[in-house]
Amino acid sequence: MTSSSPVHYLSTLSFPDRWLDRLRASHPGLTVTQVPAASPADVPEEVWRRTQILHTSSVFPNTADAAPDLRWIQLDTSGADHLKDTAVWDLPVPLTSIGGISPVPMAEYVMMMLLGLAHRLPRAIEVQQSGKWPSLSERWNTLMPRRLRGATVGVVGYGRIGHEIGRLAGEFGMTVLGLKRGRATRAGEFFGTPAEGSGEAELYTPDELHAFMNRCDYLVVTCPLTDETRGMIDAAAFGALKDGAMVINVSRGGIVDESALRTGLRSGRIAGAALDVFDEEPLPADHHWWTEPGVILTPHVAGFAPDYEEQTLELVSANVQRFLAGRELINLVDRTRGY
């Protein structure tokens, strides 16, 4: 694409004017349009027809003919699993994600939950809500913390987020295991610079899942949802999990068998859980997870990034520059892998 060619960018999101103005200023040849949209019908047909760069989470043209000039889709999500069985997946245009924006807050969330579970936060909240000061024996037996130093945390999905979890866990003196699709790092360019520190882990591959689970005092699930990972942490995997382990899930609903997890919690084989993602979202008001003993629940917020707008602008601007120069984009979604 030549520098004189007009390039039309469409956001279906709700960025503030200052964000859009900075994007325009960074790329004078870019025509920036924003149409906050909940469905394709919210975007005027003439806007769809001229769009070449689409920045969106879940609003796409109904047909390829509706956006004949579309050349690239920048997702405002870190995953692409919601597109797997849609027509968008088969469009002959690159997809890129905003992966790399959330690893730090997600890793901090995981450490918050590791500490919360280890220090019996669910039980402490029950005590607070009861308004009754427990006896010394009750406190000793139900609020005694578990140690983190020397314990083993296993991270399913040892990519950018997993590496940051491993780095922080290492600072607490934990042994870190990582389970990932291949022992080698996936080639390609990604957004975000890892923080200083090791983040090193003893790596396992999916065919070693049960051996991996057997070593975990704490299990953290943070892998993308793909055909390979759907239902991966099932009853058999939980059966292999170290007795008395605790589980933290910040990935996607569908990876962890929720029924098997609940069975493990009720039997006592799993000592506690922190859950941010679920098979059904939004979680119904009468769902058992809201009141499940020993569980800390949050409504899919682990990936919220306080610097989201600034980092997204940095990523989008860098990718626009690459697009204009005909270079490979950052955070390309590999359709063969599903992420």
- Whether 252 sits among the annotated catalytic residues: the reply is yes
> Are 152 and 118 in contact, with CB atoms under 8 Å apart?
no
**Per the residue annotation, which of 71, 300, 322, 335 is the catalytic one?**
300
**94 Cβ partners below 8 Å, 6+ apart?**
72, 73, 329, 332, 333
User: CA–CA separation, 159 vs 178, rounded Å?
Assistant: 9
Burial of residue 49 (CB within 10 Å: 0-12, 13-18, 19+) is middle
**Per the residue annotation, which of 8, 167, 181, 252 is the catalytic one?**
252
**Per the residue annotation, which of 281, 288, 310, 328 is the catalytic one?**
281
Separation in Å, CA 148 to CA 132, 221, 251, 278, 286: 29, 18, 22, 26, 34
Give just the sign of the alpha carbon dihedral 130, 258, 247, 308: negative
Burial pattern 300-327, b for ≥16 Cβ within 10 A else e, equals bebbebeeeeebbbbbbbbbbebbbeee
Sort residue 294 into left (φ over 0), alpha (ψ -120 to 50) or beta. left
- Identify the bridge partners of residue 295 per DSSP, sorted by sequence position: 273
User: CA–CA separation, 302 vs 291, rounded Å?
Assistant: 20
- Whether 71 sits among the annotated catalytic residues: the reply is no
Lookup result for tokens 């068998």: 257
Half-sphere exposure of 43 (CA within 13 A, CB side): 29
Give just the sign of the alpha carbon dihedral 308, 314, 317, 318: negative
- Whether 281 sits among the annotated catalytic residues: the reply is yes
Lookup result for tokens 């019908």: 41
> Which residue numbers are catalytic?
252, 281, 300
